[in-house]
Amino acid sequence: MKIGIIGSGQLGYMMINTMRRYPLEFYVIDDNKGPSAFIADRFFDASDYREFVDSCDYVTYEFEHIDQNILKYADEQNKLRPSIKAVELKQDRSLEKKYLKEHGFPIADYEYSETYKDAFEKAKEFGKAVIKSCKGGYDGKNQYFVDINSKYEEHPDVPYVIEKFIDYDYEASIIAVRDVHGKFYHFEPSFNYNKNGILIYNISPVNNTLEMIDMAKRLMESLDYTGVMGIEYYVKDGKTIINEYAPRVHNTGHHTLTGSSISQFEEHILAISGMDAVNPELFVPSGIVNIIGTGIEDKISEILELGNTNIYWYHKDEIRRKRKMGHVNVYGKSYNDVQKKINIILDILYCGKIDEYI
C-alpha cells in the first residue's frame, strides 16, 4: 500500500520512520525538500501533484498551509484523509472559531476584522487581546499582543481574528484518533509549557481531563474525522476551553513515542489507511523537551546518561534560532520524576539562556 504525505517536515519524517516497519511505502510531496524528502520511497515536486495522488492509495498531510490544488485533487480522487473540511477550517482562523462556536464548543471570546486598525480597536475593547492573522502564522508568527498600554503600530490590512486574552492557569492538549469505522481512542492529555508561542516541553498525563476527552470525541464526530487530531486547551480555574485543533499529528503528541503502547504516528497511519485504530495505553508518565535552535551531537551521552531518555533529531538542513531541530523524549516513574529530568535537560540544552534560542 502506498501512503502519500503532503509536506516534508518533521511530522512526516516521524510518520515514515515510525511506520517503516509496516508493509507500506511512503511518497512525499512538497515545494521544497524538507527532512522527510530524503527518507521517502519517492519524492514529488508540488507541481506533479496529479501524478503523486494517482500513485498513492491514500493521501494525508503533515501541515495545514498547503497548496489547495493538491488537497482538492486528492479529495476528488477520494483519497484524502482526514477530510478536506477539517483542513479548510484550519486555513482560516475565523472559520475554525466560527465552526467551534456554532457546534457548542467553549472558546475564548473573539471578534473578526478586515483591517489592522479595526482589529486594534476591538482588541482595546477586550482590554487584553491577541490579534492573529486569519491565514498563515504558527509558532507565534503574525500574532500581536495588545493591552491598554499598547501603542498603535502599522500592520498589513488582512483579515484578523481578535481573541480576548485568557490569563490561563495552564495549556493542555489531547491527541485522539478516529478510524474509518468511527472508533475513537485517545492518548492521555498533556500539560504543555510554551514560551514566545513555541512549545518548550510537555508532560503526560495531566489531571482533570474528562471534558477534554469529551470535546475531542464530539469534535471528531462532528467532522466525521478519520485520523489523528491534536486539540489544544486552555484551563483557567478548572474550566477548559479549546484554543485550537490541528487536523494531523501534533507537536504536543511526541511523548506518545515512549511510555505508550503505540504512538500518534502509528495510530494516524493505521487510521488513514483504513486499518483499525488501537486503544493506546500509557505505561509511565512521559514528556518531551523540544530542541530549538541548537545542535545535540556533543550532548547525547549526557542526556542518555539521565536514563529513560530518547533522542529525536529531525535532520533539518541548518540550525536556526526558533527552529525546532529535534526533541528529547523523557519518561519516569512519576510526573515529578519526569519534570525533574526535563529541567535537567533544559539546562543541558540551553544552559539557562533559552531566550537566546527561541
Q: Which residues bind a second copy (CB under 8 A)?
A: 1, 17, 20-23, 38-39, 41, 261-262, 270, 275-276, 278-279, 281, 283-284, 295-297, 300-301, 304-305, 307-308, 310-313, 315, 326
Q: Which residue has the cell 481574528?
A: 161
Closest CA to 277 of 266, 285, 291: 266
Task: State which residue, 20 or 239, has the beta carbon closest to a second copy.
Answer: 20
Task: State which residue, 80 or 296, has the beta carbon closest to a second copy.
Answer: 296
Closest CA to 62 of 98, 108, 19: 19
Task: State which residue, 1 or 351, has the beta carbon closest to a second copy.
Answer: 1
Alpha helices in the chain (DSSP H): 10-19, 49-55, 68-76, 84-88, 93-102, 116-126, 210-222, 264-272, 300-305, 335-350
Task: State which residue, 122 or 327, has the beta carbon closest to a second copy.
Answer: 327
CB of 135 to a second copy, least distance (A): 33
Closest CA to 148 of 118, 126, 127: 127
CB of 321 to a second copy, least distance (A): 18
The C-alpha atoms of residue 198 and residue 353 are separated, in whole angstroms, by: 15
Task: State which residue, 127 or 295, has the beta carbon closest to a second copy.
Answer: 295
The C-alpha atoms of residue 52 and residue 38 are separated, in whole angstroms, by: 16
User: Do β-strands 42-45 and 129-133 pair in parallel, antiparallel, or remain unpaired?
Assistant: unpaired
CB of 286 to a second copy, least distance (A): 11
Task: State which residue, 17 or 222, has the beta carbon closest to a second copy.
Answer: 17
Closest CA to 177 of 73, 89, 273: 273
The C-alpha atoms of residue 65 and residue 329 are separated, in whole angstroms, by: 27
CB of 275 to a second copy, least distance (A): 5
CB of 35 to a second copy, least distance (A): 10
CB of 78 to a second copy, least distance (A): 21
CB of 25 to a second copy, least distance (A): 9
Task: State which residue, 26 or 201, has the beta carbon closest to a second copy.
Answer: 26
Q: Which residue has the cell 538542513?
A: 317
The C-alpha atoms of residue 144 and residue 120 are separated, in whole angstroms, by: 9
Q: Which residue has the cell 464548543?
A: 105
